[in-house]
Amino acid sequence: MGNVLRVDLSTQKVSTEEPDPAVCREYIGGRGFNSRTLFREIRPGIDPLGPENVVCLATGPFTASGLTSCSRVEVSTLSPYSGILGDGNAGGSFAHFLKKAGYDQIIISGKSKVPLYLWIEDEHVELRDASDLMGLNTWKTTETLYERHGKDISVAAIGQGGENLVRFATLMFDKYNSAARGSGAVLGSKKLKAIAVRGRKNVSLADPDEFRDLARADRDFFLNDPFQKEVVAVYGSHIGMLHWGPGFRNYEKYLSETDVPDTLKPEAWKQFETGRSACRSCVVPCKNSFKIPEGEYEGEVGKALEYECIFCLGTNCGITDPVPIMVQENLADKYGICVIALGNAIAMAKDLYMRGILTDRDTGGLSLDWEDAESQIELVHRTALRQGFGNLVAEGMYSMAKILGNKAMDYCYHVKGLSRGPYPAGVFGLAHATSTRGADHLRGRSWAYGENDPSLWPELVKKGYIPVEDEVKTLILSEEVTTLTDMIGRCKGAVNNWGSAVPLVFKYPLLEGLAKLLRAATGTEFSEETLKNAADRVYLMEMAFNVRQGILIEHARLPLKPGLAGTPKGDLELAKHKAMLERYHILRGCDPETGIPTREKLESLGLGFVADELAEGTENPCGFGKWEGPVLWGLETYPKGTLRA
């Protein structure tokens, strides 16, 4: 295993630590390492944009090993967007180079007085002056560091969104890969502009021959499986426009395949496509490269336009012209802001505008008409630079609604500050409610629903690996396996699927293939039981982290539209959700009244210290205070401006 690199920006000192073998065995890597660090090192109730916050970046045990789809880096912090756990996961090459430099985790603390960037070249690590990088977007920052250090490096950078503390600013890797939920704003508050890394070491394996054979079988699956070859490699996540029900006009409805405009269907995007590519070590080219052929933006090029952008900044904002969607994708990448959070905030603002809750006076005369694409593009600029009405949008959907008042929160369909829209009670609503980073589709939802596995999912069900007769148990299993995916540094698939999330699941019983790979890589024995325990250890620690931030079972809500809330039908939906939620917490080993993990369950996972800390603040269930979102600043206090992208 690699070392832990600590960076204290207050003192500008860097140091390395050897990993504890017990921690490696119990937390494996990636999200496991990061969530453990956050619980131990972040005090409850701090300002996420203050110097006390911590940012962690971690690789997994399979990074740079030759196993396909294992070049993901996990980025974790206390989110300034939600005020709870905020982790993101990005592809590209950064994890590969960090691992080959000899590091499994970077822990960044403190706050610098001057702009800095972190340069890593194997054992050589130093903080360097970044004054000349300030005000540059992520693409220009990356290119500048390529010129300075060579192109055989990987760069993580924040843009103007991070510098201006836009609460959903993201850390961008190699220009096009985003680790969302506010890490860019936290690094902006710490004045760390970028991290550049070159790694040239070999990664050792305990049993290289066995590992090579297992990795070859995994690789062959992706090369030969019809779903991977004919869908994921051809269309990537664009296929979701036909099958995932993208929201329309702030979730006024969800679009069926026939509702989706022809201009936004997967085949229509091919007219702009100039090539396809994959992340480091992956054999599935799920990402498109594109070029706008004509018009005002003629010649503009970009990469990795995903379903989330088409949906969040397109249909859910009332935009059905593909060109403005591509323009906004590039702006979000350059400014370093999350397309999901940005789209949710703009969609809600437009909804409020159309209802008269927001007016032209509030927007400074900027139109928020549904189809007005040029005004929306302008709003993206103003949000990243915190100019005019964009300063309010930069607070994010939940905080914007909280600041506005006047029934704005009725149209903010959030769970713990994040949104995937309003759904009826069931596996989607439950998955959004129980996600440890707020409403989210990647914490288990897609796997519990089996929506993207035309042949593998039925086979796994037939073999009895997935308890489909019980939605709650299926969701918990899906949360466990996707937690493990984040711990090992593996991609869950651009089109989320079991074959991507669980290595060798097509060949061995559920987690047996993963256990074999871990044994061959690390020399440590794992079983399905120890792997599930590791996943539960991480998930319950994350739940406990959020309890310290004031999260209780009442925050695991089912968002309802105003027309449904308070009606008999709405009450039935809430009752069904409550029953599922109570059963979920019982099966998870939590108090069904509060949602807090029990001492018995925590101690069974070796988390007695977590139980001790929770006991200090939960003698009454609100001992840590009740969550109301992140600590907010006055809008006039934020940094603003710099160059437009």
Amino acid identity for residue 619 in this structure: E
Does the pLDDT value for residue 394 go beyond 90? yes
Structure tokens at 625: 């205070």
Does the pLDDT value for residue 623 go beyond 70? no
Tell which residue, 433, 498, 488, has the closest CA to residue 466.
Answer: 498
pLDDT of residue 107: 98
Tell which residue, 126, 138, 35, has the closest CA to residue 78.
Answer: 35
Tell which residue, 200, 59, 169, 8, has the closest CA to residue 521.
Answer: 59
pLDDT of residue 625: 85
How far apart are the C-alpha atoms of 605 and 276, rounded to whole Å? Answer: 43
The kind and range of the H/E element at 544 are helix 528-548
Does the pLDDT value for residue 621 go beyond 90? no
Asked if residues 106 and 194 have their Cβ atoms less than 8 Å apart, the reply is no
Q: Give pLDDT tens digits for 496-524.
A: 999 999 999 999 999 999 999 999 999 99
How far apart are the C-alpha atoms of 376 and 355, rounded to whole Å? Answer: 18
Same fold for the pair 3-198 and 239-405: no
List of E strands, 130-279: 154-157, 171-173, 177-179, 192-198, 247-248, 253-254, 273-277
Using CA atoms, how far residue 520 sits from 63, 215, 219, in Å, is 14, 10, 16
Please state the rounded mean pLDDT for residues 253-264.
97
pLDDT of residue 620: 45
Q: Are strands 73-78 and 116-121 parallel, antiparallel or unpaired?
A: unpaired
Does the pLDDT value for residue 214 go beyond 70? yes
Structure tokens at 575: 């009752």
Does the pLDDT value for residue 142 go beyond 90? yes
Structure tokens at 634: 């006055």
Asked if residues 342 and 312 have their Cβ atoms less than 8 Å apart, the reply is yes
How far apart are the C-alpha atoms of 496 and 316, rounded to whole Å? Answer: 21
Q: Domain ranges for the chain, please list them.
A: 3-198, 239-405
Amino acid identity for residue 440 in this structure: D
3-state secondary structure of 98: helix
3-state secondary structure of 266: helix
How far apart are the C-alpha atoms of 346 and 396, rounded to whole Å? Answer: 9
pLDDT of residue 622: 47
Mean pLDDT score across all residues of the chain: 96
Does the pLDDT value for residue 618 go beyond 60? no
Asked if residues 333 and 175 have their Cβ atoms less than 8 Å apart, the reply is yes
Does the pLDDT value for residue 11 go beyond 50? yes
Q: Give pLDDT tens digits for 456-484.
A: 999 999 999 999 999 999 999 999 999 99
Label residues 25-42 b or e (16+ Cβ within 10 Å = b). ebbbbbbbbbbbbbbeeb
Please state the rounded mean pLDDT for residues 225-245.
96
Q: Give pLDDT tens digits for 93-128.
A: 999 999 999 999 999 999 999 999 999 999 999 999
**CATH fold for the domain made of 3-198:** Aldehyde Ferredoxin Oxidoreductase;  A, domain 1 (3.60.9)
Q: Give pLDDT tens digits for 15-68.
A: 999 999 999 999 999 999 999 999 999 999 899 999 999 999 999 999 999 999
Asked if residues 68 and 155 have their Cβ atoms less than 8 Å apart, the reply is no
- Phi, psi at 7, each rounded to 5°: -125, 110
How far apart are the C-alpha atoms of 492 and 506, rounded to whole Å? Answer: 15
Q: Quick one: what percent of the chain has pLDDT higher than 70? A: 99
CATH class of segment(s) 239-405:
mainly alpha
- pTM of structure: 0.97
Does the pLDDT value for residue 451 go beyond 90? no
Asked if residues 403 and 632 have their Cβ atoms less than 8 Å apart, the reply is yes
Does the pLDDT value for residue 616 go beyond 90? no
3-state secondary structure of 44: coil
